Amino acid sequence: MKSNFKWSCLAAVVAASVSSSASSADAPFFQITEISSDAREYGYKLAQKSDDYLSVTQEYDWWSYFDSIPTEIDLSDRFSYTPGCIFDSKVCDAFYDSSDETDQRGHSFFHSLVNNLPYTYSLLNGGDTSSNLDGFRRGINEDGSVIVGWIDNRDRSFEGGARFPVVWNNGTMIKLAEIGHGQASDSFETYDGSLIVGGAASETQISDNERYHYCYERYNENSFRSNILNCPGYHNKAALWLIQNNEVKDVRYLNHYDAATKDKISTADVKKIIKIDDTYYAVGYSATDDIGADSSNIATYWTFKYSDGAFSDISGYKRPSGLDRPGKDDEHFGSTWFADANDNGIAVGNARYNSVKNRSYPVEMFVYDISSDKTTTPIKDVPFKGATNRAVAINNNNLIVGVSDNKDSQEAVVQGNPRQRDTYLYNYNTNRFYSINDLICSSDSCEINGRYYYIYNVGDINDNNTVIANAYRYENYDDWKNYKNPTNVEILLTSDKFDPTDEKYDIPEEYVVEYSRPEITYGERSGKHKGSMPVAAVMFMTLLAALRLSRRKK
């Protein structure tokens, strides 16, 4: 019996199948430049004032199980994976299955942790490849000269810790801590040339023996389902480091929103550092004790001053007003967290539902204006009720990019199948929401040099309004039409269509061209595909934006 899962609204190739405003666009709003065709690479971060970029390479596609996006998976970010497997039992069982060495997605990931093997690594500008053991880059500054991240502890042990936060300043690596667990997420250069780095770190050596060992040293495939909930296996706090002359001069650990109890894993992070007048804001998330057996995360920010070469006036935790607190005064949210912020004091974040909404546990974005202490959810229930619309990044032009459910993919997720991913651009200045896929076609065609694209993942947007993303590329019309042989490509989206005199960065209506192509149901795909998994599994991975191309050819 055929499923009624529809996969549609991808691209227009003939004039009759597209819609636009009265005036027509002779060229797409965004131009596409491919920067990698490696199926494992995912666009992650861009320098704010240049198009230098970071990429994430996932050796194990464990994020497909967690219904997240590939560049948001980190064992520190509990909101990424704590919901567990909510799909049909066949989908979940396939993740847990350890019988096939080529498809042990979850087991392979934990096996790599236990044996201290790289499970992911990051790339700089598509060329400088570094393994996870040498370093993972998480953030890049305005011109690409400062990169922050972490290095793995080669001798990972209970006493020694899991990984250490670092910053690469013009190529020089500075280790920020050597105990417990840590990661650096963002940097800010001060007026006197010092660096302020934000991230997460353990204040002391790992002390929660039992949970740490369950996560890393007592891996057993028979208890995999339960042990996964013990990870990350350590506590951390949001942290600030002061770097002067390539040395750590000071470190400050920021308080949790709640005093998380020792028997609950508590995690926190500083995702972004901004400055408004003479006050600095460390924007990220903290721990709260209010959810279930383990602590959850809550969107949090801290304020501080910097002068005369030293920190001062560091505040306690603060949370955005107008956003319900998970588990305390709200029956819906399981976690909230900030994802990014800009120099205008506009922060974007996400709230993960803890209750079912339209047969899903959606993630909804929110926008917080720090100066006015006002929170809005501008695209709530967009593109349909219960849809996920997860914010990823914001630039200084107040343009926000994120990942959402496709408007025609409204089937049940809970005990069902994954929904198809789409990507969006939200203009905070004009309160307009666009599917990015509606911005890569002309009025006549979506063909680009004989090829066709569908964008399913977005990593960042910088002040040039350049977007780093991932797309499925189809080599010809027949493959596109029949959903065959997609290739995962990493791309940059650039545009010369913004009016340089328009401070609101409006997108002219004639460039908004709606994708559409013949609908195809989940069960109608046939024939072999460029993947190492069966057709049903390929569809599953495709719908999660996780297609992994195999070494076999059609």
Confidence of residue 291 (pLDDT cuts 50, 70, 90): low
Cα separation, 450 vs 459, in Å, equals 26
Total number of residues shown for the chain = 554
Q: What is the mean pLDDT of residues 460-485?
A: 93
What pLDDT, on the 0 to 100 scale, is given for residue 466? 98
Confidence of residue 227 (pLDDT cuts 50, 70, 90): low
Decide which of 329 and 84 is more confident. Answer: 84
β-strand partners of 488: 472
Cα separation, 287 vs 298, in Å, equals 6
What pLDDT, on the 0 to 100 scale, is given for residue 114? 64
Q: Which residue has the tokens 């100066």?
A: 371
What pLDDT, on the 0 to 100 scale, is given for residue 117? 65
Cα separation, 257 vs 317, in Å, equals 5
What pLDDT, on the 0 to 100 scale, is given for residue 118? 63
Least trusted range by pLDDT, from 11-20, 133-142, 282-291, 426-435 = 11-20
What pLDDT, on the 0 to 100 scale, is given for residue 407? 86
| pLDDT tens per residue, range 419-461 | 888 999 999 999 999 999 999 998 888 888 889 999 999 999 9
Query: Considering only CA atoms, which of 455, 458, 475 is closest in space to residue 515?
Result: 455
Asked whether residue 187 carries a pLDDT value surpassing 90, the answer given is: yes
| pLDDT tens per residue, range 481-495 | 888 899 999 999 999
| pLDDT tens per residue, range 250-272 | 999 998 877 666 667 788 999 99
Cα separation, 293 vs 379, in Å, equals 31
Q: What is the mean pLDDT of residues 502-512?
A: 94
Q: Which residue has the tokens 């740490």?
A: 212
What is 482-503 written as a DSSP string? HT-S-EEEEEEEE-S-S-TT-T
Highest mean pLDDT among 199-208, 222-231, 288-297, 333-342 belongs to 333-342
Asked whether residue 205 carries a pLDDT value surpassing 90, the answer given is: no
| Burial environment of residue 321 by CB neighbours within 10 A (0 to 12, 13 to 18, 19 or more) | exposed
What pLDDT, on the 0 to 100 scale, is given for residue 524? 28
Query: Considering only CA atoms, which of 51, 70, 75, 50 is closest in space to residue 60?
Result: 70
What pLDDT, on the 0 to 100 scale, is given for residue 296? 82
Helix (H) or strand (E) holding 279: strand 279-288
Cis previous bond, 28, omega within 30: no
Cis previous bond, 165, omega within 30: no
| pLDDT tens per residue, range 376-419 | 988 888 889 989 999 999 999 999 999 999 888 888 888 888 88
The three-state secondary structure class of 284 is strand
Q: Decide if 203 contacts 177 (C-beta within 8 A).
A: no
- The overall average pLDDT reported for the chain is 79
Q: How many secondary structure helices (H) and strands (E) does the chain include?
A: 6, 30
Decide which of 23 and 519 is more confident. Answer: 519
Asked whether residue 511 carries a pLDDT value surpassing 80, the answer given is: yes
The residues, ordered by sequence, that sit 6+ positions from 142 with a Cβ below 8 Å of its Cβ are 47, 48, 49, 50
What pLDDT, on the 0 to 100 scale, is given for residue 206? 66
Helix (H), strand (E), coil (C) string for 309-346: CEEECCCCCECCCCCCCCCCCCCCEEEEEEEEECCCCE
Q: Decide if 484 contacts 478 (C-beta within 8 A).
A: yes
pTM over 0.85: yes
The residues, ordered by sequence, that sit 6+ positions from 16 with a Cβ below 8 Å of its Cβ are none
Asked whether residue 41 carries a pLDDT value surpassing 70, the answer given is: yes
Asked whether residue 170 carries a pLDDT value surpassing 70, the answer given is: yes
Query: Considering only CA atoms, which of 263, 313, 259, 257 is closest in space to residue 286?
Result: 257
Confidence of residue 181 (pLDDT cuts 50, 70, 90): confident
What is 518-544 written as a DSSP string? --EEGGG--S--SSSS-HHHHHHHHHT
Asked whether residue 5 carries a pLDDT value surpassing 50, the answer given is: no
Structure tokens at 338: 């900030």
Q: What is the mean pLDDT of residues 14-37?
A: 67
Decide which of 290 and 398 is more confident. Answer: 398
Q: Which residue has the tokens 């790599």?
A: 112
The residues, ordered by sequence, that sit 6+ positions from 52 with a Cβ below 8 Å of its Cβ are 46, 124, 125, 140, 143, 144
Helix segments in 47-188, DSSP class H: 89-96, 105-114
| pLDDT tens per residue, range 101-153 | 545 556 666 666 666 666 677 887 655 555 555 678 899 999 999 999 998 87
Q: What is the mean pLDDT of residues 516-543?
A: 38
Q: What is the mean pLDDT of residues 38-54?
A: 92
Structure tokens at 374: 């006002």
Decide which of 358 and 47 is more confident. Answer: 47
| pLDDT tens per residue, range 336-355 | 999 999 999 999 999 998 88
At 512, phi and psi to the nearest 5?
A: -95, 100
Query: Considering only CA atoms, which of 306, 282, 270 is closest in space to residue 184?
Result: 270
What pLDDT, on the 0 to 100 scale, is given for residue 159? 61
The three-state secondary structure class of 450 is coil
What pLDDT, on the 0 to 100 scale, is given for residue 23? 45
Q: Decide if 480 contacts 11 (C-beta within 8 A).
A: yes
CA dihedral 225, 327, 421, 431 (to 10 degrees): -170
What is 12-43 written as a DSSP string? --SGGG-B--SS--SS-SSEEEEEE--TTEEE
Cα separation, 142 vs 326, in Å, equals 34
Query: Considering only CA atoms, which of 337, 193, 340 is closest in space to residue 273?
Result: 340
Helix (H), strand (E), coil (C) string for 86-108: CCCHHHHHHHHCCCCHHHCHHHH
Confidence of residue 539 (pLDDT cuts 50, 70, 90): very low
